Structure 1
Amino acid sequence: MSELTGPRWLAALRGYPDFRRLWGAHLVSALGTGVTVLAIPLLAAVVLHASPLEVGILTALNAVPHVLFSLVAGALIDRSPQRAVLVLTDFGRAICLGAVPVLGLLDLLSMPVLYGVVFVVQAQTVVNDLASASMVPRVLPPAMLGAGNSAISVNGSVAGIAGSGLGGGLVQLVGATVAVAVDAVSYVCSGVLLLFLRSPELVAARVTGRRGIIGDIRSGLAYVLKDRVLVALCLSSGIGAFAVAVRDSSLVLALVRELHFSAGLVGLLAMLAGLGGVVGGLLANWAATRFGFGRSVMVAILTTAAAIALLTAPFGVVPAVLVGIGQFVGGVSGAVYGIGQLTMRQLVTPPDLLGRVNAVRRFLVFALFPVGGLVGGLGGARLGSRSMLLVAAAVMAISVLPLIRGNVASAEGHPR
């Protein structure tokens, strides 16, 4: 085998076979998910002739399970064999999505059925995502966590770009119903790869005492609340999610209606954000090594705020260039932020509490995201979408304040 080229941290990950399997499983499933992100809405709109309200409900169902089940899922993960959790949720999602083309052939597919499929798939995704984040510290030593999270982040960015393109081509060639089956196959492949994980900590169930699920959730919340770094990270994530939702609900309208960009140009600019995510994933570990995770996260927040402000193209010089720079820089800083945040949580949280701690953060993010989307929509109707992008930039900048108050820059994370 030829020697792996690229960053030294990427080459170093070759020495951890369980991580390589986890990384490969994540890449395969992420590619399939990239297809489904496009195929499901097209299936609803083109095949099932869904109304705008029905498409809106379908979109909302992608987020609702994350609010409903995150805290319970975190508690379950901290007392369960993580390999089994990942494999079962991969196979479970494969069954749900594989049912879509079968039901389509039998002429039994409808919007209520699609609602159910999306809801159940997302409920399993909640469990799978939390288990995956908790698993990384069990297959890598603390010094390699930043590198591992960077590699997985690059997976997501590359898969997002490639999956969308593949999804569009598959929908064009074989139809949206069959394209969904590609994601089902990707989950089967991911689950099979995960069966080869060998670390004893991933295979055996863990004992959390005699507390029930509610007691475990309370202990997780209590641990977060007594730790200034975790409180700061969770609050910052929630405020940042609100800002991102305001941005996302305003961006397309601002570009199309106020800056008069074509649909093709909007798509090209969206790709720049994905490319920025790849670059950010490759740079994040270097930035953390040089400046520390805390400082990297704080700089990334402020850079993201500046990038959102650029999306308004305020200076009147070739607006598409400014927006393109904003999209790319926002993708870079978003990846650095996400990787740094996750790595710090992994470093400062005991392994047996990590599922619950990550669940608290996820609950806040998905609870505040729809609120931000609503504020962005209502504000855009009154003030204009470009004005709401400036609001989003300001709120994003504010999200750094909990990190300053929590003195996160000096807490580089040491296992406790």
Structure 2
Amino acid sequence: MWRDVDFRGLWVGQTASQLGEHASVVVLPLFAVLTLHASASRLGVLRAVGQAPILLLSLFVGAWVDRWRTRTTMVLADVGRALALGAAALAGLFGGLGLPGLLALAFAVGALSVFFDVAYQASLVRLVERGRLVRGNSALEGSRSAAQIGGPALGGALVSLLSAPIAAASSALFFALSFLTIRRIRRAESIPERPEHPPRVWQRIHEGLRFVAGDTVLRTVCLASAAFQFSFAAMMTVYLLFLPRELHLSGTVVGLALTAVGPGALLGSLLAARLPSRFGHGPVLVCAAALGDGVFLCVPALHGSSAVTVPALLAVGFVFGGGGQLVNVTVMAVRQAVTPDGMQGRVAATITFVGMGSTPLGSLVGGFLAEEWGLRTSLLVTATGMMLSPVVMALSPLARLERELPSSHGAPPTAVCRPSRPGRH
């Protein structure tokens, strides 16, 4: 697979894009705090504005991606983010970027990131054979895990060593690198047939929703994702209070405990390239989800000194990261395999929308439980709730998937695709 020039271009471009995206997640808030002296409430608004495009735009982006070449979408998203951050860096250097401009920048970067992320999830199916989807996703998700580890650290270091505006310009360079590598992809790509009377965007969104709801495997993935994201958001709200208040850990140690997820995710990406083809996709999904989610049930039992609790928390984070990434890679391969090419964008966006849409409510529930029931009890309850995800998968046909990936099902008539000429946007 690594001899495939087009796949290498996608891998390098996606890696650079993820580094820029995760670095900007740190750079923009630090810009607000250090340069604009923003208050905590305004910082919270900035973060919310940057995350809002996931809920507001995912379904529309999915409909868009299924009508255009993924390469074109990713290239335009990279150009947009590079220009936006470059302009912000110049404005910041000359003192012309205030909080309203920073809010607009955060929303723009977040929106373009939604376009890129949905497109790259759909692009792999058009670059590799379906039998190689697990290995391809393993490579892409491995680089994404590395970016999640290195991106925030890089962004923080650039702000500390240089300045916030220059750090923003550095993030723009990563998006420029992604643009230069992805635009070199020459593999012919199937693009949607454009009928004489194209359907409205709401109709295409409805087709995506109906397709996911009508497919047992995709419906299970949606339900399991929603159960996990809701419970995980609630658990993390309690967890971030539990570590400093119940275990009396410093902010540095709390950050260290959270970073252990990254190395575990790298291991999970490597295992995802081999385990499903050896033991079956269904058994791997259920076991990895049960192990990765269930490990948090051990946390409420922790007491005592940091010499005992910190290694235990590092182990919990590592196991959670490994199991979670193994599930992510395997689920993505299954989802791509059962979805026709003309529906890839809408299916990815629908699952993202349903899964991530439950996180704000989960966070509110976690905070309510922490106040009413106490931290230790609330952590146990929310960690138990995370086990709903593997239970949903275990009780569905998803658990019976064997070593071979399932084939794709029929798509609505408007999702018919035609081959494109190589070498064009």
TM-score range, shorter chain: over 0.9
Q: Distance in 1 between matches of 2:57 and 2:301?
A: 39
Is the aligned partner of 1:123 residue 2:111?
Answer: yes
Deviates further, 343-352 or 167-176: 167-176
- Deviation, 1:73, is 0.7
Change (3 A) 1:216 1:98: same
Q: Distance in 1 between matches of 2:234 and 2:378?
A: 7
Among residues 316, 319, 326, which one is paired with 2:309 in the alignment? Answer: 319
- Secondary structure at the counterpart of residue 185 of structure 2: coil
Q: CA contact under 8 A between 2:283 and 2:401: conserved in structure 1?
A: no
Is the aligned partner of 1:176 residue 2:168?
Answer: no
Matching of residues 130-169 of structure 1 within 5 Å: 130-169=118-157
Deviates further, 403-412 or 146-155: 403-412
Matching of residues 72-91 of structure 1 within 5 Å: 72-91=60-79
Cross-structure match for 1:224:
212
Matching of residues 178-197 of structure 1 within 5 Å: 178-197=166-185
Deviates further, 354-363 or 297-306: 297-306
Q: Distance in 1 between matches of 2:110 and 2:140?
A: 20
Q: CA contact under 8 A between 1:247 and 1:308: conserved in structure 2?
A: no
Q: Distance in 1 between matches of 2:12 and 2:107?
A: 26
State the TM-score, normalizing by the size of structure 1. 0.92
Q: CA contact under 8 A between 1:307 and 1:325: conserved in structure 2?
A: no
Tell me the amino acid that sits aligned with residue 377 of structure 2. Answer: S
Among residues 344, 349, 352, which one is paired with 1:362 in the alignment? Answer: 352
Q: CA contact under 8 A between 2:222 and 2:354: conserved in structure 1?
A: yes
Deviates further, 339-348 or 244-253: 244-253
Unaligned runs of at least 5 residues, structure 2? 409-425
- Deviation, 1:315, is 6.2
Residue by residue over 1:205-260, the C-alpha shift from the partner in whole angstroms, topping out at 9 and shown as x without a partner, is 64367322111111111111111111000110111111221122222221111101
Matching of residues 337-356 of structure 1 within 5 Å: 337-356=327-346
Deviates further, 385-394 or 189-198: 385-394
Q: Distance in 1 between matches of 2:247 and 2:72?
A: 50
Cross-structure match for 2:24:
36
Q: Distance in 2 between matches of 1:178 and 1:381?
A: 42
Residue by residue over 1:44-69, the C-alpha shift from the partner in whole angstroms, topping out at 9 and shown as x without a partner, is 12211111111111121232111111
Instruction: Report the identity percentage.
Output: 34
State the TM-score, normalizing by the size of structure 2. 0.91
- Deviation, 1:83, is 1.1
Instruction: Give the CA RMSD over aligned residues.
Output: 1.7
Cross-structure match for 1:383:
373
Unaligned runs of at least 5 residues, structure 1? 1-12
Cross-structure match for 2:85:
97
Matching of residues 282-301 of structure 1 within 5 Å: 282-301=270-289
Q: Distance in 2 between matches of 1:181 and 1:249?
A: 33
Q: CA contact under 8 A between 2:93 and 2:165: conserved in structure 1?
A: no
Tell me the amino acid that sits aligned with residue 362 of structure 1. Answer: T
Q: CA contact under 8 A between 2:231 and 2:383: conserved in structure 1?
A: yes
Q: Distance in 2 between matches of 1:199 and 1:78?
A: 17
> How many residue pairs were aligned?
403
Q: CA contact under 8 A between 1:313 and 1:322: conserved in structure 2?
A: no
Change (3 A) 1:299 1:185: same
- Deviation, 1:167, is 2.0
Cross-structure match for 1:248:
236
Tell me the amino acid that sits aligned with residue 407 of structure 2. Answer: P
Residue by residue over 1:289-348, the C-alpha shift from the partner in whole angstroms, topping out at 9 and shown as x without a partner, is 122222212112211222222333436581222211111100101100111111110011
Tell me the amino acid that sits aligned with residue 269 of structure 1. Answer: A
Tell me the amino acid that sits aligned with residue 366 of structure 1. Answer: M
